[in-house]
Structures are given as structure tokens and as C-alpha cells.
Amino acid sequence: MRVAALTVALVSFAVALAPFTSAQRKKDERSPYDPAWAAAKPLRKIEHAHNAKQSVEQNGAALKAALLALKAGDCLVIESGTYSLAGGMFELNLAGTEKAPIWVNAAETKGELAKVVITRPDAKQNVLNVGGAAPARFLCLRGLEITGGSHGLRLHDCEDVWVDRCKFYDTGEVAISANTRDTARLFLTRNNISRTSGTGEGMYLGGNDGKVKMRDSVIALNHIHDIGGPKVTQGDGIEVKQGSFGNLIAENTVHDTAYPCIIAYGTGGERPNILERNTCWNSGDNVMQVQGEAVVRNNLLINGAGAGFASHDHQGKSVNLVVVHNTIVSRKLGAKFNSWNAREGMVFASNAVYSEGLAIHFPGGSQGVDLRGNVVLGNVSGASAGFIKGRGLEDFAKLTWDAAERDARPAKDSPLIGAAETEPKVETDLTGAERAGRVAGAYEK
């Protein structure tokens, strides 16, 4: 695919890319990952105290009552303590409005969040269900610690729901799931997730074969780690299922997972997903895996038991996948593309791919793939052009195969400098710095 054709192919990505430009970052005081209603002021503040003379179950019952009484515009501020939601399934079916959201916040003093632990005594139910019996709209959960139960947080009929600065750990299954009904405009930001069990995903978003879809959502700035072990049968960090579309997965730090740190399927012909500025390392599988219909850019991927980056047909075909300006370092296999031969809209450009064995592998061939401006260490199989050779990890500032050191900025005399193509154009690098030169990989300098 030549540059002119590539430009046409990328037009469909414009809507998804536009809101997250560096120019807006400078003009907009709020985080670009927060919902538009983030600055709405509560109409009523309700302080909820923990009673040290009561049991965790009694405190949990009191918290349940306070939660269920919330109305549009209310802000419930919860004091430190452990609240056990004993009994059957507990649902939050709360509906605010854009001008009057509902807020459920841990108390905060001088920037320090209170330790609000919400749990339950067993794994027979999820800790929190949102939007089950009735839709949940314009609801924010902030600063809570959710532990135990089956799923930590299960999102059902949810639109405009924000989960921010929460901590999830020691759940019986997935930490956050949204796989029972279609969802839209979820904002999952700045959360810390670890030590899941069962299938063990950090986030499970959408359903198999597009039966349930998540759209127009933001998954950003999360730290997901230590997902795996004897109690985990799978263990993906972030999983976005087939048919989910128009989502942004950005600036997440995901590491030490049994399955891929981040895995995304296709959109079924809908608007693409964007995966950018994520830093991922130490996967027992592929570090990042994307089927298609996405833009994958400015990611740092290190040390997978499978490949650093992988793409193949799964619940749909691999088409319209643009992989540009990523740094992929994995000792066994750099990047593997099983289903790219003669497929529409496949681009692999301006990446740094370093391996001690195969750097790039096209098992079925690379006919029609736009393959340009890459720097590789290791062999290339299934393609004969589109790359130059690197020298070794000395091409980076301070980087090791085992991800103990992860400074992947180009060294002063690195062959990465000047190797990249000018198209597809990427305005900023992994850090958000402006791209002024032609530096391959995730970092400009």
C-alpha cells in the first residue's frame, strides 16, 4: 500500500484520533481521559462514617443503605474502614445526569485517600454489580478498595460510568468485567489491579463473538500487575472482546501476567480501537495481541514467553490494522503476523523490533503489507524489505531482555535515529513529546 492509498485508509480513524492530540492536552486543564462531565459540582454532599463499635457486616449494611438512597447530584463521601456486603447479590442501579452525576468517593485529605475497603464474606456473588435491574448512568466510583467476592466490579447496563483511582485485589475471578450487556462511555482510569483468581483477567470488556459490545470508552492510566499463578487459569491484563469499537486504551502499565498484558480483537467493521502509550512487560504469553481494526502506536512491549506483539485471525479476520512507532523487545520472538498476507489495510511501519532469534515473522507471507521504516535485531521471515538492521540493546539508553531495565529511549548514535518514515504521521511519542525527527520506535528522544 503506497502513501496516498494509506492516507485514504486512515481517514476512518480520524474521529477516534482527534480528541487525544497533544494540542488539546495543552489547552485542556482536565485529564484528556476524564469524561466531559468530570467537573460537574455535586448538589449535595453526604458524609458516611464508619462505626468502629460495629462489625464489618453491620458497617456494610449501613453503607448499602446509604448507597441505595443516592439521587442525581449526590456525593457520598465514605470514611476509612472495612465494609462487608454480606448476603445475596448487591446492585447499584443509580442514574445521575450529565449536569448532576452521582459520586461515590473515598474521603480525601490533602490528596490522601481514606482506606475504604469494600468486600464480602465469600465468592458466591460479585462484590459490586452496577446497572443490573435498572440502567446506571453518570455514576462515578472513586478511591475505593474492592477485594474478595467473585468479580470485584461487574458493569451491566452502564453508560457514562467512571471508575477512577480504585484498587482491586484478591478477587475470586476477574477484577472488572463488562460482559453481560452492551456498554458505552465507560471511563476506567488510574486503577490498580492485582492478584485475581479464576480466569483472572484484570479487565474483561465486551463478550465473545460480539454478542456484547463496549463502545466509545476510555481505559487509561491503570496499573495492572501480578495477574497469574496457581489460582488463575488464564490471566489477561486488559481484554477487549470482538465487536467492541471506538475505544481508547492508553498509558496503562501492565506487567507480570500469565496471558497477554493487553489483548484486543476486531471491531466487526465499526470504528477502530486505539492502543497507544502503553508500557507492558513480562507476559507468560504474547505481550500484546491485536486481531485487527485498530491503531497500535507508541507502545513499549518487553519480554514475552510468546511474541512481543502478535496478530492473527481469531473471532474475526485481521484487517485494517496500523502498527506504527512501537518498541518491541522480546528474546524469543519479536512480532508475529499469522493472517496478514493479502489482507486489507495492514501497516507495520517505523517500529523497533529486537530479538535474539526471529524479529519479524510472517508465516503466510506479507503480500500487500505496508512494511517500511522499521529497525530490527534478529532475522525476518516472510518479508525481504521494509527494515534496516540494529546492532543490539546498546541502541537504547538502558534496556534489558528481562525488562529489569526499561529505558528504551534511543542511544546517542542509535540506528533508530533517522530510520522512521514520515507516514503514517504520529505527532507525539510515548511520553507525549512532539515528534520532530524520524526516530523509529516508541520514543522520539
Segment 103-121, tens digit of pLDDT: 999 999 998 999 999 999 9
Q: What is the pLDDT of residue 395?
A: 98
Cβ neighbour number for residue 319 with a 10 Å cutoff: 18
How large is the average pLDDT for residues 278-303? 98
Percentage of the chain exceeding pLDDT 90:
91
Q: What is the pLDDT of residue 228?
A: 86
Q: What is the pLDDT of residue 30?
A: 58
How large is the average pLDDT for residues 38-45? 98
Pairwise CA distance, residues 186 & 141, whole Å: 12
The candidate with the shortest Cα–Cα distance to 378, out of 396, 363, 405, 360, is 360
Pairwise CA distance, residues 281 & 304, whole Å: 7
How large is the average pLDDT for residues 74-101? 97
Q: Which three cell numbers stand for residue 36?
A: 466531559
Query: What pTM value is reported for the model?
Result: 0.94
Q: Which three cell numbers stand for residue 275?
A: 492502543
Which residues are CB-contacts of 300 (< 8 A; sequence separation ≥ 6)?
278, 279, 280, 281, 326, 327, 406, 408, 430, 442
Which tops the pLDDT comparison, 8 or 238? Answer: 238
Least confident of 48-52, 64-68, 74-78, 231-235: 231-235
State the pairing for strand pair 396-399/406-410: antiparallel
CATH, range 31-259: 2.160.20
Confidence band, pLDDT 50/70/90 cuts, at residue 24? very low
Least confident of 3-12, 136-145, 339-348, 371-380: 3-12
Segment 381-439, tens digit of pLDDT: 999 999 999 999 999 999 999 999 999 999 999 999 999 999 999 999 999 999 998 99
* CATH 2.160.20 domain span(s) along the chain: 31-259
Output phi, psi for 174, to 5 deg.
-60, 150
Least confident of 21-25, 270-274, 403-407, 426-430: 21-25
Pairwise CA distance, residues 179 & 213, whole Å: 8
pLDDT at 256 over 80: yes
HEC sequence for the chain:
CCHHHHHHHHHHHHHHHHHHCHHHHHHCCCCCCCCCCCCCCCCEEEEECCCCCCCHHHHHHHHHHHHHCCCCCEEEEECCEEEECCCCCCEECCECCCCCCEEEEECEECCEECCEEEECCCCCCCCEEECCCCCEEEEEEECEEEECCCCCEEECCEEEEEEECCEEECCCCCCEEECCCCEEEEEEECCEEECCCECCCCEEECCHHHCCCEECCEEECCEEEEECCCCECCCCCEEECCCCECCEEECCEEEEECCCCEEECCCCCCCCEEEECCEEEEECCCCEEECCCEEEECCEEEEECCCCEEECCCCCCCCCEEEECCEEECCCEEEEECCCCCCCCEEEECCEEEEEEEEEECCCCCCCCEEECEEEEEEEECCCCCEEECCCHHHEEEECCCCCCEEEEECCCCCCECCCCCCCCCCECCCCCECCCCECCCCCC
Which residues are CB-contacts of 227 (< 8 A; sequence separation ≥ 6)?
193, 194, 195, 196, 200, 201, 202, 235, 236, 237, 256, 257, 258, 259
The alpha carbons of the chain give a radius of gyration, in whole angstroms, of 22
Q: What is the pLDDT of residue 229?
A: 79
CB-CB contact of 84 with 121 (8 Å): yes
CB-CB contact of 353 with 360 (8 Å): yes
Pairwise CA distance, residues 265 & 309, whole Å: 13
Q: What is the pLDDT of residue 92?
A: 97
pLDDT at 198 over 70: yes
